[in-house]
Structure 1
Amino acid sequence: MADAGMTTTQGTATPTSPATPDGVMPGDGPAGNGNVSEAQIKKRGRDRLLRGLQRMSSSPSLPRAGRSRSASSPYSFSGALSCVSLGSAPSPLGQPNTGSYFSQASAAEGSSAHTSIPTSPIPESPSHDGLETMLAIRPVDAAALTPTTITLPARIKKKTKTFNLWVGMPHEVKIHVLSFLRPKELVRASRVSKEFHTICFDGQLWTSLDASEFYREIPADSLTKIIESAGPFVKDLNLRGCLQVEHYQRAEAMAKACQNLINATLEGCRNFKRSTLHTLLKANDKLAHLNLTGLAAVNNATCKIIANSCPQLEVFNVSWCKQMDARGVRFVVDGCPKLKDLRAGEVRGFNKLDVAESIFRTNNLERLVLAGCDTLTDVALQTMVHGTDPEIDYLTDRPMVPPRKLRHLDLTRCSRLTSNGVRALGHLVPDLEGLQLSGVTHLTDAALEPIFASTPRLTHLELEELPELTNAVLSQRLAIAPCAPALEHLSISYCELLGDAGMLPVMRACTALRSVYMDNTRVSDLVLAEAAAMVRGRAANASPAPRLPAVGLTLVVYDTPNISWTGVREVLSRNAEPPSLNAKKDKGKAAVPVTASSTTTTATLSPTPSTTTPTPTTSTTPSTTPPPPIHPTMPREIISLKCYHGWQMTVDEHTKRVLRGDLGAARRLERKWADFMQANEEAGGRGVGEGRGVDGVQKGMDGAGVYVMGFKG
């Protein structure tokens, strides 16, 4: 029990003043009512404040070296003092400064404000030992204020060094990143680690497996492992030329692994076993594209399995399969209602009418390739188009059957066909875009007339090795046909009766041509000149000229006796001419420069609309300043020419220079070559090439560097 004159604060006895009017601090009001005096209330508040300061002093942020008093403090003492009196000077009214805590503390300890001396030291209280030392002003060390580098803890540095983006990446993102690698690169990346090995052989990366790009470099075991790992995910499988799968066990493992194929190409797998092939076909009922070109394992039983197991089939290629015939094709045509593309080149048995009747009933085929089917007859072809005993329209003398949906028909080298069979296509294939009749030697003009008149979408036409065709079918039928503006490819090679009379109208009418094969025909230099003019006229109506020219037309005229070097030079000259200069040559008119005076006069004579504001009067004095020169531009399209092998080197070099935009060098080469050829003709074709020809021309070609010895002939 403490004495009546003592008050316990934080376990330490502190002397207090008696509760008399003298003990009350100056400036305080009268004591409150009750047993508790106003001095005791202030003592309790002072005790709470001291306890708060002690808690603050226990914080690690306050007792640090060099801590200075706040700049807002009204005291200014030397930093050398360790402890000073915080008592304030008496105010004029005789009241102490209430803003100082220690002034209140000195009053509570029995000192009167009227007798306290500001400079006298305050005795230290045992209960607050060390508090004044914490709050005292201490000297500041200049080194403590120097900026220092903040060092991260070792724990954070270690995390920064071991941060791995790949480890924290989701599995789906990893698969997407690796999907940009090619199969060969994926196999190489699988050697990095076990994780990479697992991810690189994930089936999602092998949905499309095209082994034709690397089949020569990958071992058979690795290829088998890839297909086994990714088999359930593979949808597009291309094993073209892969001889590694000839082993029975490897092929069997691949066939069992792949069960979701949509596109399958087994062309070139020559020793693929029949049982393995049948297992593969039975396990993939979603097949839409199947290429079995040249497989010896394919027979009519294979086609029957395809018809029963692959109802979604759209493209079927069994060309050069010697162990089957047209009956197998009939199974597939009848069992696959979605079939659109049938390729059965050099397959026997197409003279059977039941096969032709099946093709007629489907009417879904858009591409039919029967190249080399020498058993195809006129009756079978007519049955494919007309059916059996069709109803005839007496007005037009045409069968009344639905038109065929064929867009591409290839009857190349069907030697038993004649004009009677081919003529059946007229007016029944309106959507035809490609027609190949090369090698049908008995074909005449009468077979092509109805076809040209009823195929407005025809873009590709091949009529090679047709010795009975004449110029009339080109000039009077093809040139005026609805398909003439759309025709892009024309081949009349080895048609020995065709010449300028047929090809000149075609060159004028078929302005969309991109390639023309006229070798071993009777065309002459006139056709080359007309072709050059056609390309120039087509380019004039095209979009703005590109930075460099491009090949717009390919002409093949080698082994053509009527083509001379003059016609070749005409093509080279047109290729190297800017469009503006060529337009002047074509029109035969000189460009008239427009002066400023003529422009002013024209503007004066032209009526001024009433809605426009009047313009200020300009001077009509003729200007002597010439107009800016017209800079030549690059030609948009040029002709790529294949001609006599003795001239081909110069033609190729000339084309290279034009394509890279060096028109000046191309013109120099053309001029020097023309001088050489003319000198060679004057010398009778001999002597010039052996003497002055080679050395003289090479020195005068201005760096052309073209070998011209072959131009003697």
Structure 2
Amino acid sequence: MSTRSPSPRSPTSSSGSDGLHDEFYELHNTQDLLRDAAREDLRTPNRLITSYADLPHEILMHIFRYVLNSQQDLQACLMVCRRWCVCGMQLLWHRPSFHKLSSLFKLIHVMIQPDASFPYASYIRRLNFSLLAGDLDDQLFGRMDVCNRLERLTLAGCSQVTDETLSRVLSCTPQLVAVDLSGVAQLSDLTLQVLAQNCPRLQGVNLTGCKKISLEGIIQLVRYCPSLRRIKMGQCEEIDSDSLLLLMRCCPMLLEADLVECPRIDSRSVREIWLRANMLRELKLAHCYELTDAGFPTPMMLEDLQRDPPEQIFHTAPPRFVIEPPSWIICDQLRILDLTNCSLLSDDAVRGIVAQAPKLRNLSVAKCTRLTDESVYAIAKLGRNLQYLHLAHIASLTDRAVTHLAQQCTRIRYLDLACCVALTDASVMQIATHMPKLRRIGLVRVTNLTDASIYSLVERYATLERIHLSYCENIRVPAIFWLTQRLTRLTHLSLTGVPAFRRSELQSMCRPPPKEFNQHQRQSFCVYSGRGVNELRRFLARVYTDDSRAEQFGDLDPEVRRALEARRS
């Protein structure tokens, strides 16, 4: 910035610094302003910028982002000059928010005024209607067809919006990059066709719960939107293996694929992931019951390939691979893999997954009931890469396998061992010794656990945030008292079905049970969350300062008592 005194000039004049304005900011209300600036620059080509009002449009926009959280400051900026007002208005309308229906009415009223000072609809880039999902209907949403520069649209749960209105609005949004249509029950292949043909820049689409979509809609998406990176199609019952095959073959930049609860997905499509180069980082196939070892790099997959080699589908290029010897792809990018309740998988599948995806960070094989200790030994090879692991309902899992896992995967942050009924205190002690970064642990229905497990966790950790101990019937109140005193970051503690916590004074601090629970479930429900954990901590602290009350809840361990007295002193 020059320190020279500025020459007298109009407060609305501008320099030519933004004469080369880009497509993002080229709005018709600023064309006259920019044209005047260009003419002035032609007359004085070497003139220095002498005022903050002369800064380029893009720089002003960046600076104004710092005052978005202060309505008073932003209003002051809008009143400086016309250039600042234009920049401020674009930011103000970039992502309008409405938490109630009246706010949406006001936005529509201002947006459709024929003599408005600014083209407000052209400034809107993002719209999120999830907070108004129950009230949004065709009449209201149909007004959004004037937002022709929309880039992100969220309609999660807006079940009253129909296919016809969706198609009309989406046909006016050629710059759309991401759209969330989860829970829009009336969505059909017609909307997907309009979306694909009018939004070629589309990169992310969420279709979770849209049960009417089928293969025909996916064909349109992959044909017109080859840059697709993220797609969610959970609970879409009509989506089959051909859909996944098309996505893998026609969308080379695909990063995330969510196919949870799609029962028609089988091994024929999943094996494509291991046979051709891809950029997948996240793959969710939970509750896809038809998946077998033939979908993963295993000997069974080789046998299946020899009987049924991959075919050419919809004129897409067939994968290039050699069956003898196998040429499986190393999926270096894969970080998240969810195979929850894929109950037909065996240890061979887990060994193949670990070998071909060595950088997995989040792995769920919960309820894969055929797995044994051999799977855990294979998972342990992921070493320090592994951070989240779900092993719930693997009944044959033993302490020896968990001990090996704890020694190898020392960076695990979340570990779920629910319903692994063969485990004992030895497993928890090894976890406490070797996993210093642990934040959450699930031990529901690990019935062999005793207070010794709790004391080992307390001794090693100060950073645990969530602990699930429901139906661990041997846990006593003194151990939980010491746990709440030592773990100051604890925000969630579940003790449902623990006999020691069925006392009315202890259950009064837990959160209310879900409405769908029956009478028996309500009586045993005991979960402390957020403020409830703090209330339990204070209550037990008062109990164990009074010896007569402490006897009613159970005596403290002598070592704990000495530690507590030393702490108080």
Give the TM-score taking structure 2 as reference length: 0.63
Change (3 A) 1:649 1:284: farther
Is 2:485 aligned against 1:653?
yes
Equivalent position SS for 2:131 = coil
Residue from 319, 338, 351 that aligns with 1:449: 351
Deviation of the 1:262 alpha carbon: 1.7
Could you tell me how far apart the structure 2 residues matched to 1:183 and 1:495 are? 49
Is 2:133 aligned against 1:232?
no
Which residue is 1:436 aligned to? 338
Residue from 341, 344, 351 that aligns with 2:240: 351
Q: Which amino acid in 1 is paired with 2:372?
A: T
Deviation of the 1:412 alpha carbon: 0.4
Could you tell me how far apart the structure 2 residues matched to 1:654 and 1:354 are? 51
Residue from 533, 541, 552 that aligns with 1:690: 552
- Taking the TM superposition and a 5 Å limit, the aligned residue runs for 1:178-577 are 179-180=65-66, 185=71, 203-209=89-95, 211=97, 214-216=98-100, 218-225=102-109, 230-243=120-133, 246-256=136-146, 258-351=147-240, 353=242, 356-357=245-246, 359-382=248-271, 384-385=272-273, 401-423=275-297, 427=329, 429-475=331-377, 477-479=378-380, 481=381, 483-521=382-420, 522-535=422-435, 552-575=438-461
Contact 1:360 1:385 in 2 (8 A): no
Could you tell me how far apart the structure 2 residues matched to 1:440 and 1:285 are? 39
Deviation of the 1:403 alpha carbon: 2.4
Change (3 A) 1:553 1:658: closer
Q: Deviations over 1:259-279 (max 9, x none)?
A: 112222221222223333222
Equivalent position SS for 1:656 = coil
Change (3 A) 1:699 1:185: farther
Deviation of the 1:300 alpha carbon: 0.4
Deviation of the 1:414 alpha carbon: 0.7
Identity of aligned residues (%): 18
Deviation of the 1:355 alpha carbon: 6.0
Q: Which amino acid in 2 is paired with 1:495?
A: I
Could you tell me how far apart the structure 2 residues matched to 1:494 and 1:363 are? 36
Structure 1: which 5+ runs fail to align? 1-167, 387-400, 537-550, 577-636, 660-668, 680-686, 706-713
- Taking the TM superposition and a 5 Å limit, the aligned residue runs for 1:600-611 are none
Larger radius of gyration: 1
Equivalent position SS for 1:342 = strand
Change (3 A) 1:244 1:445: closer
Deviation of the 1:530 alpha carbon: 1.7
Contact 1:464 1:492 in 2 (8 A): yes
Deviation of the 1:460 alpha carbon: 0.5
Q: Which amino acid in 2 is paired with 1:533?
A: T
Deviation of the 1:474 alpha carbon: 1.0
Equivalent position SS for 2:130 = coil
Deviation of the 1:429 alpha carbon: 2.9
Change (3 A) 1:245 1:689: same
Contact 2:342 2:368 in 1 (8 A): yes
Deviation of the 1:297 alpha carbon: 3.8
Equivalent position SS for 2:363 = strand
Could you tell me how far apart the structure 2 residues matched to 1:194 and 1:509 are? 62
Could you tell me how far apart the structure 2 residues matched to 1:205 and 1:703 are? 58
Deviation of the 1:485 alpha carbon: 2.2
Could you tell me how far apart the structure 2 residues matched to 1:486 and 1:291 are? 31
Deviation of the 1:203 alpha carbon: 3.5
Deviation of the 1:193 alpha carbon: 10
Change (3 A) 1:355 1:488: closer
Deviation of the 1:317 alpha carbon: 1.2
Q: Which amino acid in 1 is paired with 2:281?
A: R
Aligned length: 418
Deviation of the 1:243 alpha carbon: 3.9
Give the TM-score taking structure 1 as reference length: 0.51
- Taking the TM superposition and a 5 Å limit, the aligned residue runs for 1:109-120 are none
Could you tell me how far apart the structure 1 residues matched to 2:337 and 2:122 are? 40
Change (3 A) 1:336 1:691: closer
Contact 1:487 1:512 in 2 (8 A): yes
Structure 2: which 5+ runs fail to align? 1-50, 113-118, 302-327, 492-536
Could you tell me how far apart the structure 2 residues matched to 1:199 and 1:244 are? 35
Deviation of the 1:376 alpha carbon: 1.3
Could you tell me how far apart the structure 2 residues matched to 1:361 and 1:691 are? 64
